[in-house]
Amino acid sequence: MSTTETITKAAPVTPVVDKTLANGFNGKDKVANPPQVQVNGTTKSGKKLNIRTYPKFDNLEDERLYRKQHLAAAFRVFADRGFDEGVAGHISVRDPILTDHFWLNPLSMHFSLIKVSDLILCDEDGDVVEGSEPVNAAAFAIHSQIHAARPDVHAACHAHSVHGKAFSAFGRELEMITQDACRFYRSHGVYRDFRGVVLDSEEGRRIAKALGGGKAVILQNHGLLTVGGSVDEAAFWFLSLERTCQAQLLADAASVAGYKKLLIDDDEAEYTSLQVGGPDKGWLAFQPYYDEQLAKTRGEFLN
């Protein structure tokens, strides 16, 4: 097998349950398409309770503002968790009006300071269309190719988080050792061709290939990258993937002492992934973090 055939491992598309199966898996009270949000949705009197969902907009200008506000919040959330490291790291969101353009962070601004007015709009060639600061060249090389390869992806996150970097050194996929890990069951790949800072579009295309149809890719010797249909979803997948890598490292360390890891079997992992790894769940799971930033900053990042 040639070298190029072994450097990447693409993530397959998230599995879809065969509706012809009786109640999904194992025949034990499981349905073919379980709800992504598990909630008691009514009061005792039968009144229906509101479940937060991605809003509907009267116009694309309103949706653009919403995406920028949640992008700015995502940077603040990342900063609070120490995902910043100098000028490394970037989050992008596709513009809903100029759909081949995307918004990014300015090159040298700390995540904790980013506001809506600081965001930079780039076109498909990497030229700044709106904003007065440059963007990270690696950010463009990676994000432009992911947005081009995946029309369903509206946002992508990459940062040099500690546990993500540590786990990436092994160049392997996660094991299904926890319920949260199942978010990434057959929905994450590994990019094994580390070549230093990503600066050319061809390497960006190879990373997009390793991502495949999944929601995340582990960049060997580099870190983590996640995507989603919204910046909220992509950001939450990153938060969860970082903690899942931490749990994996802890479990691996404990296993050296002779403790045996008990893996979740494929049927259960696949079914659980439908419950905890869908886009609606990803978007909703980020909302408490957004609310926290509103409260902590009194909405300062919205300016």
For 200-248, how does the pLDDT look when each residue is reduced to its tens digit (9 = 90+)? Answer: 788 899 999 999 999 999 999 999 999 999 999 999 999 999 999 999 9
Average pLDDT, the chain: 89
Pair 189, 10: CB distance under 8 Å: yes
The arithmetic mean of pLDDT across residues 276-283, rounded, is 96
- Helix (H) / strand (E) element for 8: namely strand 8-9
How would residue 48 be classed by pLDDT, with cut points 50, 70 and 90? confident
* 271: helix, strand or coil: helix
On the CB side of 53, CA atoms within 13 Å amount to: 9
Give the burial string for 27-48 (b: 16+ CB within 10 Å, else e). Answer: eeebebeeebeeeeeeeeeeee
Q: Would you state the pLDDT for residue 5?
A: 34
Q: Could you give the 3-state DSSP secondary structure of residue 120?
A: strand
pTM above 0.75, yes or no: yes
The SS3 assignment for 95 reads coil
